[in-house]
Copies of this chain bind each other. A is one copy, B any other.
Amino acid sequence: MREKVLVAAELFAEFGLDATKMEDVAAATGVPKATLYYYFEGKEDILAFLFVHVLDQLGRAVGGALRTGGTAAERLRAVVCAHLGVIESFPAASRALQFDLGRAARSPMIAARTEAAFVEPVGALLVEGARDGSLRPVAHPRLVATAILGAVTTTGLNALTPAAKRPLERVADDLATFVLSGVAA
């Protein structure tokens, strides 16, 4: 029942929270406005549901990539691919999420879930990589993990979403190489 609103992600992504009217969500889902209020607290609650859905997918994807065998470096590459895969699967919801990523105060819950789904596990992976020798030791793993999150998200949204999209693999390859090796010669 609640899942029906997933098709409204497109709306929120395209127009944002405020420009998306409950009327629109009702029209897009075929669920009467009053019924939406029967299942959700309000508009923000619907958006939160969408976000949690995407972040859960991200968390699962990242988790799966981490459980891959191989060195930390190999697994980090897998994380980048998995992350891009989620963006490709839920482009609208991912874009919607991006809007509010910075607005941390607005929803501590979102910030916390982002932490748990990405920053925390990737930070740990960086530490692990420094031990197994496949990654360079970094002074502040979480800061770098955040940088990776930003790089992948921004690139993914720009390269995958629009009409003329490049194949996922190409982007993933370029991006993973950038993350692993940087741009220095």
Residues on A lying within 8 angstroms of B by beta carbon are 13-14, 16-19, 73, 76, 95, 98-106, 126, 129, 133-136, 138-140, 143-144, 146-155, 157-159, 162, 166, 170-171, 174-175, 177-185
A185, B147: Cβ atoms under 8 Å?
no
A58, chain B: closest CB distance, angstroms: 15
User: Are A102 and B99 touching (Cβ within 8 A)?
Assistant: yes
Contact A139 B18 (CB under 8 A): no
Instruction: Given A102-B157, A150-B153, verify A180-B184 contact (CB < 8 Å).
Output: yes
Main secondary structure of the interface of A (DSSP, over half): helix
B147 contacts A178, CB within 8 Å?
Answer: yes
B residues within 8 A CB of A180? 182-184
Q: Judging by beta carbons under 8 Å apart, are B146 and A181 in contact?
A: no
Residues of chain B contacted by A140 (CB below 8 angstroms): 166, 174
Task: Give bound CA distance, A166 to B140, whole Å.
Answer: 11
Q: Are A136 and B184 in contact, with the CB atoms below 8 A?
A: yes
**Complex interface: chain B residues within 8 A of A19 (CB):** 18
Give chain B nearest CB distance to A183 CB in angstroms. 5
Q: 8 shortest A-B CB distances, which residue pairs?
A: A150-B154, A18-B18, A182-B182, A151-B151, A180-B184, A98-B102, A150-B150, A181-B182
